[in-house]
Amino acid sequence: MNSVLYPVCAGVAWLALLYKTRVLRTDRSAAQLALTGNFLLLGITYTVSTPVVWVATSRAAGIVNFSGLLTQSCVVLMSACQQLVLLHLTHERATAWRKAVPRLIALALVLVTMVTLFSAATIQREAPNDFALSKAQYYPAYITVYLVAYTANQIDVGILGWRYAKVAATPWLRRGLLLIALTLPFALVYSGCRAADVIAGQFGTDGRAWEPVAQLAVTIATITKIIGWTIPDWGRHLSTLADGVRDRLTYRELVPFHREVTALVPEPVIPLDPRADLRTRLYRTVVEIRDAQWSLRTWMDPAVADAARRRAEAARLRDDDVAAVVEAAQLRAAIQAKAAQRQPAVHTHAPRVAEPGDLAAELAFQRRLARAFAGSPLVTAALADTTSPRTEETA
């Protein structure tokens, strides 16, 4: 299985490294440099772990299973890089290094111990497909040292990611840190499988039965973590794309609504240059709908608003949904009254019920309003409930 999964992980890691080197052109902070190192080591780890590369690398080094020591040493060095990234993201430079030093010393000791225990091994065959299984069975001390270091780092990174996600400076950094934290269960599954390998080895057997689980778990953890590390850089492009799609859908939904509410009060409509961008058109549409709403205010009967509110509350709607039904009912009744030139004796003083705090909230509300205006049965029922008072003809 690792002849398929590991090349995939290697490809994703090298792509992430290429992307990160572009970021380094403008940002060479310690966090970015450490993250670049992490992707470089990750690419090496999974490239060398591919069976055909594994054998060639060990043969070139002249040491049996040198590839195993190389890849697992890279994992330990990746741990150092990941610690540096998280600490520099959340602390001042001096504080980050002060907190990093004990971790780096511990990882250095792990590396020295691993090299020493590996050198004491006497296994004479290459194990590109089951190196961890072989070490767990015949040299449990080596794999145990590696496993303890790997697990401790995964727990530390997971906790730091979860903790710092709560205070992240940007939404995409928060999402990235959460993704990194969410890889912890998969990493622990991998660690559990490797611990089971050690135990099985003491009983003269091995963990081949659960090896696919270990490989799948580490693959999921690796790819998810790569996404988590890189998404703060490219996630904003997803936001831009999503905003563009949302704006286009909103514009298409508001255009028919705009056409109806401005048909009898065209004064607010300002012709736009045909080359105007979508955002400008959308903004003007929103403003003109609101201006038309105010222009129709003198044709709005307060009784319609009361009837619409009762209907909406009876349907257990809340907040903006109630406001959308009330405003839609008032607009539809006002358009009908103006078309018939029958003005109510007493008109509404405030045609707006909702007061969104920003443009995004205004757009979301106007979509609700457009839907209610177009076909809400509550609006139709409110108009049917209302008996218009005697009106006076206007010229």
Do 21 and 36 touch, CB atoms closer than 8 A? yes
How much is the pLDDT for 393? 41
Place of tokens 């736009």: 272
Closest-CA residue to 125 (of 74, 63, 69) = 63
Q: Round to whole Å and give the CA distance between 348 and 386.
A: 15
Closest-CA residue to 11 (of 211, 198, 162, 222) = 222
How much is the pLDDT for 51? 85
Closest-CA residue to 194 (of 213, 174, 222) = 213
How much is the pLDDT for 138? 56
> Which residues are bridge partners to 343 per DSSP?
392
pLDDT, tens digit, 9 for 90 and up, residues 155-167: 989 998 998 888 8
Which residues in the chain land under pLDDT 50?
388-395
How much is the pLDDT for 1? 64
How much is the pLDDT for 131? 65
How much is the pLDDT for 390? 41
How much is the pLDDT for 388? 45
CA distances from 339 to 86, 254, 262 (A): 65, 22, 12
Find all residues with CB under 8 Å of 172, minimum gap 6, and list them: 231, 232, 235, 236, 239
How much is the pLDDT for 11? 92
Instruction: Label the pairing between strands 392-393 and 342-343.
Output: antiparallel
R_g over Cα of the chain: 32
Q: Round to whole Å and give the CA distance between 329 and 196.
A: 67
